[in-house]
């Protein structure tokens, strides 16, 4: 033990001594070797040569002469570089025990040295570098041997190239070089030198008192003062700047968060604490009533996935963003506070302004999403700080009308809405609510529910109660091992034993492990349309297709966007409230959007429900009651959809929102866009003989096709309708064409697989059987509804439907709004929508042949002019149809293709 201790104490000293001795020996050797090399003389006697009788000239005597002779013979001219090479290797091994590369340092140096000496001497041999009078030439024995070998295999250039590459590699290994950073450093050094030189030059000139300072341009001093920064430095500096900025931004945002949390109203904090406490400390069923809103939020539907087309939604959002910013500008013109805000923004640096607008736009999008599903708490909280950014459409219109009274020329240029919206005061005001169950009643009802279920052998515990205007939802926690299906199957028995009309079992409540039992209230409150329309969610939504459907189970308004659905199927038994529901949807649009924004095609086979809307300016065609006309209306819509797609592709936009923005921007900029689909021959035949000019594009309105009973259409017209509906449903979203299809026959021959696959959003009113419910929703539940507007709304992509108590719209309300609109304007009907019903009705062979084809051919042959516009004028049909007819004639060989002068040759002799 003591021995080993003394050993361990002695060894470091010994190591140090050994190291130092080694260093001295190495130094000695290097000096000796260096002197011997550099005092080499070819006449000195050596290993290969006995020498002259002259005295030895090598300063290290005969030994030095032999060493120098050996190295020079073997390595050729390269032997001069041996001493520095050895010194370098010594330094590397001494100072850097750990190599940068994942290899032993000694190994690196050895490999590097061998490569250097071998291929360096090859290079010396090939290119006669250094003294060629050395005994074995400038390549030495090694260079000669290896060089000749390489030359024999890869030739002169190849040998040079390979040797160069290997020498470079050897340098890399020996110096453990990183070429890029070496270049970096070299560039940096050169730059510094140049800067130094220039500074000195300027100093010198200044000292000389030259005029150059007064006239810097002449002397190019301006250039000198701001020398162009090399890209490498610029990059570095930018990187540094951006990282600094990021840090600053982070710090700032942290600081704001801190500030915000500090500035939070103490009362608010207290309330938060209280609510947290109540959640923890009051597990009573009533304490959970407050959470009912959250339940609704959990159902917030996502935007449906429509494959390629779905991605277009981003553009929709863009459009909304654009609108919002535009409105904000308006607002600044009217409202002094907003103006102040804008001026503040303007005074801020550009980047800040951009950041703010981006923030606004993000909030707008989020808000829109929240708003649309009645999450009022969320919206009011988030919106308030940016109120001007999310003006409602009606507010914006008020501002517009205010703007128009100002003499500002820029304001006058703007597209004024040609209509004002009807006043909502025409709607029936809601009556006071009678309310559902009292607290005591709720308690006893929950006990009764537990008891009744126990009677059926199902042990459950009521954990939460959510009272609403029409039903009350009891959330129950079943005992372990009890299947949900058992409770679902007991729905009817439960309703009977509780003496209520019906009980709906909600098998899955998103995010919870409980089951919902929905029991109708004894006294049912009516949900008035004026209640659901006068809500933040509806007001704040910027979409012209915003629909206010009704209240959810906790009494919050449910507001959705048809543009995002993008089509909806409404089904329910007769008297379940479908027509009232459809009316609520139509009124939602009529109270939100002008005919410039939304146009409608209404199909009403019953001649009762929708005929009431006859004469409103939103209609594209009189309310269709004939199913043949209806089918043709669908065909027109498909044509219109195709036309819109062509226009959008010509303008390079992906949806109607983008198209309208581009067209409006162009109009506002005073350079409206010419119709890209216009054809030159249209100019030749105007009605009054005046040559036509290229028409300009106008913003396109959304088109909503509302069919009150599409089963009739399917029965009368047949398969073609199904195909047309599927075509519109698949593609029309981007073109701004949307379908609302209602039926009272939820059977598979009406709601076919093709229609279901293409219309993802469904609205199920009360139905008589579970099978019907499955046909509509792919699940039961609609059979347990209460009727009179009680519905299950299934947004696309959501697995479970939302129960909505539809708003009641009376005939008087509809009449009042219709009257308001009739006073505002006449409808501008498009005749094409319903013409030519025969082609759809007739057999398949004539399906693609236009009924007016023969007449068109007659006209062309008579007039000897195959012009689209003349056919259009003579037959009083739309351009598209006339173009199709002329193209059909071309296909049939009656007329030739259009020539460069815009004329077609008539191929049939006179
Ligand atoms: N949201 C509602 N609130 C209160 N009552 C309603 C509501 N919706 C409908 N009703 C009542 O139900 C009745 C039938 O409604 P509606 O005419 O809309 O049913 P429907 O399903 O269209 O029937 P049909 O297919 O026979 O036309 C209405 O007259 C009205 O009294």
Q: What is the pLDDT of residues 551-575, one digit of tens each?
A: 988 888 999 999 988 999 999 998 8
**810-820 average pLDDT score:** 92
pLDDT (0 to 100) of residue 67: 87
Reduced to 3 states (helix: H, G, I; strand: E, B; else coil), residue 703 is strand
Element (H, E) at 464: strand 460-467
Give residue 49's pLDDT: 66
User: Which of 268 and 443 is assigned the larger pLDDT?
Assistant: 443
57-61, 264-268, 301-305, 631-635: segment of lowest average pLDDT: 301-305
pLDDT of residue 308: 33
Band (351; pLDDT cuts 50, 70, 90): very low
Rounded average pLDDT over 420-426: 87
What does the pLDDT look like over 517-558, one tens digit per residue? 999 988 888 899 998 999 888 999 989 999 999 998 888 899
pLDDT in tens, 660-712: 999 999 988 888 888 887 765 554 545 555 555 677 888 899 999 999 888 88
Q: Percent of the chain at pLDDT above 70?
A: 70
What was the pLDDT predicted at 585?
Answer: 95
Mean pLDDT of the chain: 73
Question: Of all helices (H) and strands (E), which one includes residue 169?
Answer: helix 140-175
Measuring CA to CA, how many Å separate 6 from each of 2, 11, 18? Answer: 6, 9, 18
CB of 788 sitting under 6 A from ligand 1: yes
**What is the predicted pLDDT for the residue at 63?**
86
Nearest to 780 by CA among 375, 501, 485, 482: 485
Residue where the block lists tokens 């290229």: 694
- Per-residue pLDDT at 48: 66
806, 812, 813, 817: CA torsion to nearest 10: 140
**Ligand 1, atom 26: nearest CA belongs to which residue?**
574
| Cα–Cα distance, 651 to 657 (Å, whole number) | 12
Flag whether pLDDT at 430 surpasses 60: yes
Specify binding-site residues for ATP. Answer: 572-579
Please choose, from the candidates 764, 752, 769, the residue with its C-alpha nearest in 3D space to the C-alpha of residue 793. Answer: 764
Residue 93 has pLDDT above 80, yes or no: no
Span of 7-11, 13-17, 183-187 with lowest mean pLDDT? 7-11
Q: Give the residue ranges of DSSP H helices in 498-577.
A: 529-533, 536-540
Asked whether residue 509 carries a pLDDT value surpassing 60, the answer given is yes
Q: Which of 179-183, 265-269, 618-622 has the lowest mean pLDDT?
A: 265-269
Q: Is the CB of 570 under 6 A from ligand 1?
A: no
Beta bridge partners of 793: 763, 802
Contact 750, 709 (CB under 8 A): no
> What is the rounded average pLDDT of the residues 840-856?
61
**Distance (Å, rounded) from C-alpha 670 to C-alpha 473?**
58
Question: What mean pLDDT do residues 625-641 have?
Answer: 87
pLDDT over 80 at 908, yes or no? no
Say how far apart CA 676 and CA 694 lie, in whole Å.
9
Q: Please choose from 431, 558, 577, 790 the residue to mutate so as to test ligand 1's pocket, defined by most ligand atoms within 8 A of CB.
A: 577
Protein residue with its CA nearest to atom 3 in ligand 1: 808
Tell me, in angstroms, the distance from the centre of ligand 1 to residue 718's CA. Answer: 28
Is the C-beta atom of 789 inside 6 A of ligand 1? yes
Helices (H), 611-655: 627-651
Q: Which two tokens stand for residue 752?
A: 């076919």
* Distance from the alpha carbon of residue 503 to the mean position of ligand 1, in angstroms: 21
Q: Provide the b/e sequence for 612-637 (b: ≥16 CB within 10 Å).
A: bbeebbbbbbbbbbebbbbbbbbbbb
Question: In 414-540, which ranges are continuous DSSP H helix?
Answer: 439-455, 484-489, 491-497, 529-533, 536-540
Ligand 1 and 811: CB distance under 6 A? no
810 CA → ligand 1 middle, Å:
10
Q: What does the alpha-carbon distance between residue 171 and residue 186 come to, in Å, rounded to a whole number?
A: 17
Q: Closest by alpha carbon to 739, among 731, 612, 802, 584?
A: 731
Top pLDDT among 134 and 125 is at 125
- pLDDT of 752 over the 50 cut: yes
Task: Find the helix or strand (DSSP H, E) in which 410 lies.
Answer: helix 409-413
pLDDT of residue 313: 35
Determine the average pLDDT of the residues in 306-315. 33
Helix axes 811-824, 578-590, angle to 10 degrees: 30
Nearest protein Cα to ligand 1, atom 31 = 788
Ligand 1 within 6 A of 577 CB?
Answer: yes
Strand partners, 475: 464, 516
Using only C-alpha atoms, what is the Rg of the chain?
44
Report, as an integer, the average pLDDT of 308-312: 32
Other CB atoms within 10 A of residue 669 CB: 9
Q: H/E element holding 891?
A: helix 879-891
pLDDT digits (tens, 9 = 90+) for 484-499: 888 988 888 888 988 8
Residue 373 has pLDDT above 70, yes or no: no
Question: For the segment 782-794, what is each residue's pLDDT rounded down to a tens digit?
Answer: 988 988 999 999 9
Spatial separation of the C-alpha atoms in residues 812 and 551, rounded to whole Å: 21
Residue 259 in this model has a pLDDT that exceeds 90: no
User: Ligand 1 centroid to 764 CA: how many Å?
Assistant: 13
Sheet holding 515-520, edge to edge: 460-467, 471-478, 515-520, 504-506
Overall average pLDDT of the 613-635 stretch = 89
ipTM above 0.95, yes or no: yes
**CB atoms inside a 10 Å sphere around CB 79:** 24
Ligand 1 neighbour 119 (Cβ under 6 A) = no
- Atom number in ligand 1 closest to CA 550: 1
- Give dist(CA 674, CA 669) in Å, integer: 14
778 CA → ligand 1 middle, Å: 24
Dist CA 739 CA 732 (whole Å): 9
Residue 846 predicted with pLDDT over 90: no
Res. 849 pLDDT band, cuts 50 70 90: low
**Assigned token pair, 325:** 């910013």
Mutate to test the pocket of ligand 1, among 552, 555, 782, 789 (most ligand atoms within 8 A of CB): 789
> If you ran DSSP here, which 8-state letter would residue 760 be given?
-
Q: Enumerate helices (H) and strands (E) in the chain, giving the number of each.
A: 34, 15
Q: What is the DSSP string of 722-741?
A: HHHHHHHHHHHHHHTEEEEE
Please state the rounded mean pLDDT for residues 102-123. 83
Ligand 1 atom closest to the Cα of residue 805 is 1
- Per-residue model confidence as pLDDT tens digits over 859-868: 888 888 888 8
């Amino acid at each position: 033990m003591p021995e080993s201790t003394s050993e361990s104490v002695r060894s470091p000293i010994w190591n140090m001594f050994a190291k130092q001795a080694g260093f001295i020996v190495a130094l000695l050797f290097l000096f000796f070797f260096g002197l011997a090399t550099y005092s080499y003389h070819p006449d000195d006697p050596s290993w290969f040569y006995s020498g002259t009788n002259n005295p030895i000239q090598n300063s290290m005597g005969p030994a030095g002469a032999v060493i120098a002779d050996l190295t020079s013979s073997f390595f050729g001219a390269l032997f001069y570089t041996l001493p520095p090479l050895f010194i370098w290797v010594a330094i590397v091994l001494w100072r850097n025990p750990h190599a940068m590369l994942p290899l032993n340092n000694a190994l690196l140096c050895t490999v590097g040295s061998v490569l250097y000496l071998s291929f360096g001497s090859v290079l010396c041999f090939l290119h006669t570098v250094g003294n060629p009078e050395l005994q074995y030439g400038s390549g030495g024995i090694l260079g000669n041997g290896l060089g000749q070998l390489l030359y024999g295999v890869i030739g002169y250039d190849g040998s040079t190239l390979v040797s160069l590459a290997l020498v470079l590699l050897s340098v890399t290994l020996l110096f453990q070089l990183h070429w890029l950073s070496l270049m970096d450093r070299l560039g940096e050094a050169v730059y510094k030198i140049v800067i130094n030189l220039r500074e000195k030059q300027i100093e010198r000139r200044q000292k000389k008192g030259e005029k150059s300072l007064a006239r810097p341009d002449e002397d190019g001093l301006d250039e000198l003062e701001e020398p162009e920064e090399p890209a490498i430095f610029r990059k570095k500096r930018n990187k540094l700047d951006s990282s600094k900025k990021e840090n600053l931004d982070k710090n700032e945002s942290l600081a704001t968060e801190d500030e915000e949390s500090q500035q939070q109203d103490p009362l608010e904090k207290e309330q938060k604490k209280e609510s947290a406490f109540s959640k923890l400390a009051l597990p009573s069923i009533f304490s959970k009533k407050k959470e009912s809103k959250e339940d609704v939020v959990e159902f917030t539907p996502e935007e449906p996935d429509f494959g390629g087309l779905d991605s277009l939604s981003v553009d929709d959002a863009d459009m909304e963003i654009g609108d919002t910013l535009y409105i904000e500008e308006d607002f600044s013109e009217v409202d002094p506070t907003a103006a102040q805000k804008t001026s503040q923004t303007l005074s801020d640096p550009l980047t800040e302004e951009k950041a703010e607008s981006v923030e606004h736009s993000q909030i707008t999008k989020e808000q829109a999403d929240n708003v649309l599903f009645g999450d009022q708490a969320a919206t009011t909280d988030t919106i308030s700080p940016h109120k001007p950014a999310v003006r409602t459409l009606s507010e914006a219109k008020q501002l517009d009308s205010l703007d128009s009274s100002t003499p500002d020329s820029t304001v006058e240029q703007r597209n004024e809405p040609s209509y004002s919206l009807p006043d909502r005061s025409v709607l029936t005001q809601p009556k006071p609510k009678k309310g559902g169950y009292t607290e005591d009643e709720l308690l006893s009802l929950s006990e009764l529910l537990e008891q009744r279920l126990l009677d059926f052998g199902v042990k459950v515990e009521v954990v939460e109660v959510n009272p609403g205007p029409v039903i009350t939802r009891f959330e129950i926690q079943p005992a372990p091992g009890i299947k949900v299906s058992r409770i679902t199957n007991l729905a009817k028995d439960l309703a009977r034993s509780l003496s209520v009309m019906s009980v709906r079992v909600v098998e899955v409540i998103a995010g919870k492990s409980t089951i919902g039992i929905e029991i109708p209230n004894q006294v049912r409150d009516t949900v008035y349309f004026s209640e659901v329309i006068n809500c933040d969610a509806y007001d704040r939504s910027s979409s012209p297709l915003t629909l206010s459907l009704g209240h959810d189970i906790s009494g919050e308004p449910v507001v959705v966007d048809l543009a995002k659905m993008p089509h909806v199927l409404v089904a329910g038994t007769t008297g379940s409230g479908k027509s009232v529901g459809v009316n609520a949807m139509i009124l939602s649009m009529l109270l939100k959007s002008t005919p410039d924004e939304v146009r409608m095609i209404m199909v009403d086979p019953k001649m009762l429900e929708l005929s009431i809307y006859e004469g409103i300016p939103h209609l594209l065609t009189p309310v269709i009651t004939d199913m043949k006309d209806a089918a043709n209306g669908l065909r027109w819509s498909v044509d219109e959809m195709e036309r819109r797609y062509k226009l959008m592709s010509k303008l390079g936009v992906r949806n109607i929102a983008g198209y309208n923005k581009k067209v409006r921007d162009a109009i506002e900029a005073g350079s409206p866009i010419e119709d890209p689909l216009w054809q030159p021959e249209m100019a030749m035949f105007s009605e009054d003989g005046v040559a036509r000019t290229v028409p300009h594009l106008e913003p396109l309105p959304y088109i909503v096709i509302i069919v009150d009973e599409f089963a009739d259409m399917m029965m009368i017209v047949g398969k073609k309708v199904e195909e047309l509906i599927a075509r519109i449903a698949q593609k029309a979203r981007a073109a701004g064409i949307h379908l609302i299809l209602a039926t009272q026959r939820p059977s598979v021959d009406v709601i076919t697989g093709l229609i279901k696959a293409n219309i993802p959003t469904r609205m199920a009113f009360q139905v008589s059987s579970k099978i019907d419910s499955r046909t509509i929703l792919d699940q039961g539940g609609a059979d347990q509804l209460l009727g009179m507007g009680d519905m299950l709304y299934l947004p696309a992509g959501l697995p479970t439907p939302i129960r909505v108590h539809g708003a009641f719209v009376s005939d008087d309300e509809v009449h009042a709004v219709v009257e308001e609109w009739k006073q505002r304007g006449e409808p501008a009907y498009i005749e094409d929508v319903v013409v030519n019903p025969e082609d759809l009705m007739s057999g398949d062979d004539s399906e693609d042949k236009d009924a007016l084809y023969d007449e068109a051919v007659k006209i062309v042959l008579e007039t000897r002019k195959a012009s689209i516009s003349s056919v259009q004028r003579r037959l009083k049909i739309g351009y598209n149809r006339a173009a199709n007819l002329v193209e059909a004639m071309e296909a049939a060989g009656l007329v030739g293709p259009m020539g460069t002068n815009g004329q077609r040759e008539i191929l049939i002799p006179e």
